[in-house]
Amino acid sequence: MTLKVYTSLLLLFLVNSVWTRTVRQVYDEMDPEHWSHYSFECPQECFCPPSFPNALYCDNKGLKEIPAIPARIWYLYLQNNLIETVTEKPFVNATHLRWINLNKNKITNSGIESGVLSKLKRLLYLFLEDNELEEVPAPLPVGLEQLRLARNKISRIPEGVFSNLENLTMLDLHQNSLLDSALQSDTFQGLNNLMQLNIAKNSLKKMPLSIPANTLQLFLDNNSIEVIPENYFSAIPKVTFLRLNYNKLSDDGIPPSGFNVSSILDLQLSHNQLTKIPPINAQLEHLHLDHNRIKSVNGTQICPVSIALAEDYGLYGNTPRLRYLRLDGNEIQPPIPLDIMTCFRLLQAVVI
């Protein structure tokens, strides 16, 4: 299970870190017979690197509108401009676009021409962070794999906007204006392959409804969440990284087996209102509980298996997997209790 999860996460991180493909890949994937027919003209406002002819750099140019995009372009960089509108005209010939970066502009929903985005049939990555959007733009290209909408003013998600995005693996909505009412039971319907969902820094008071079942990473930091519903994580059985830092979780808001979930490997509950360590699963590897109200730690009570079982070296496969434990910013006084080390024999770091 752990190997499969790490393999999936490695693929996701590689996707997040690779900004362009090599020129060799482009030539391999495009028919050489047709390549010579593409015009190599470059918009005068932009830069066209000779060594990477399918990329167009128009970032940091003070542009107020998008220039005409040549047909050969796959990767379009328009970030850090003054663009207010996204219309169909500049994209008439740009039928091969895979990547558009429109971060840090002045784009509003009314400035996006109806249907212009959905007509970009081959688009895989769409970045619209740091704009002035008030809702998720729609309709979107059905082949999208990443959609980044952080740091806008989004308070509304139109019904069915994600319903056809079966290839989407990453959705970033952090630092917007989402309330609980914006996340209905069918909001994320259709996101069958979503791996990372980021709704941090919004105005949620409840755990969001109907998270896609294949989600591996769920980020809910900096909201006002008070309660984890009973059996909440049974609907997302693959969740591996869970961040709930800077919320309002108390002991009463966490059910007895709330975080006793075998899929969770990294659990972050920093800056909440907990007075004790909640029950955890033996598979958990990283636990962040700093800056809560915890006064003491009892290894016998928090150990996910019996201390006697943990002491049996012959049962290494059942040994709790915790490797990192952070408890600073609480009211705990050192030294670390011996039974903590007896239980968690794989601990490599404890911050107290």
What DSSP letter does each residue of 129-181 carry, written as one string?
Answer: -SS--SB--SS--TT-SEEE--SS---B--TTTTTT-TT--EEE--SS---GG
> By the 8 A CB rule, do 252 and 288 touch?
no
Question: What is the model's pLDDT at position 314?
Answer: 44
Residue 29 binned pLDDT confidence (cut-offs 50, 70, 90)? very low
Q: 140: closest CA among 157, 159, 116?
A: 116
Max CA pair span of the chain: 74
- Region 186-212: mean pLDDT is 97
DSSP 17: H
pLDDT given at position 40: 59
Three-class SS state of 350: strand
Collapsing DSSP to helix, strand or coil, 226 comes out as: coil
**Which of 96-110, 215-229, 297-311, 327-341 is the least confident region?**
297-311
Considering only 3-12, 308-317, 337-346, which range has the smallest mean pLDDT? Answer: 3-12
pLDDT at site 335: 85
> Identity (one letter) of the amino acid at 5?
V
Question: Which residues is 125 bridged to in the sheet?
Answer: 99, 146
Encoded tokens for 145: 């794999």
Q: How many angstroms separate the first and last alpha carbons of the chain?
A: 31
Q: How far is CA 148 from CA 94, 116, 137, 297, in A?
A: 21, 17, 11, 40
Q: Is the pLDDT of residue 18 over 80?
A: no
Residue 307 pLDDT > 90: no
pLDDT at 9 over 60: no
pLDDT bin (cut points 50, 70, 90) of residue 309 is low
Q: What's the one-letter identity of residue 61?
A: K
Mean pLDDT of 118-140: 98
Contacts of 176 by beta carbon, 8 Å cutoff, 6+ apart = 149, 150, 151, 152, 153, 154, 155, 201, 202
| pLDDT > 90: percent of the chain | 80
Q: What local confidence, expressed as pLDDT, does residue 319 receive?
A: 86
Nearest to 287 by CA among 257, 321, 255: 321
- Reported as a single tens digit per residue, the pLDDT across 40-67 is 589 999 999 999 999 999 999 999 999 9
3 or 331, higher pLDDT: 331
Average pLDDT over residues 24-36: 40
Using the structure block, give the residue that is written with the tokens 């998600």. 157
**Burial (CB count <10 Å: 0-12, 13-18, 19+), residue 272:** buried
pLDDT, residue 39, reads 43
| Phi/psi-derived region of residue 196, left when phi > 0, alpha when psi is between -120 and 50, beta in every other case | beta
Q: Could you tell me how far CA 160 lies from the centroid of its own chain?
A: 20
In the beta sheet, which residues pair with residue 127?
A: 101, 148
Residues of the chain with pLDDT > 70: what percent?
Answer: 86
The pLDDT score that the predictor gives to residue 23 is 35
Per-residue pLDDT at 12: 54
Cis? peptide before 237, omega within 30° of 0: no
**pLDDT surpassing 50 at residue 299:** yes
DSSP element (H, E) containing 5: helix 2-17
What is the pLDDT confidence band of residue 316, given thresholds at 50, 70 and 90?
A: low
Q: Which whole-number Å values give the CA distances from 305 to 285, 309, 341, 343, in the listed order?
A: 15, 7, 13, 8
* Residue 14 banded pLDDT, cuts 50, 70, 90: very low
Average pLDDT, the chain: 89
CB 215 within 8 A of CB 196: yes
177, burial (CB in 10 Å: exposed 0-12, middle 13-18, buried 19+): middle
More confidently predicted of 162 and 336: 162
- The tokens describing 160, both together, are 């069915």
Please count the other Cβ atoms lying within 10 Å of the Cβ belonging to residue 58.
Answer: 23
Band the pLDDT of 310: cuts 50, 70, 90. low
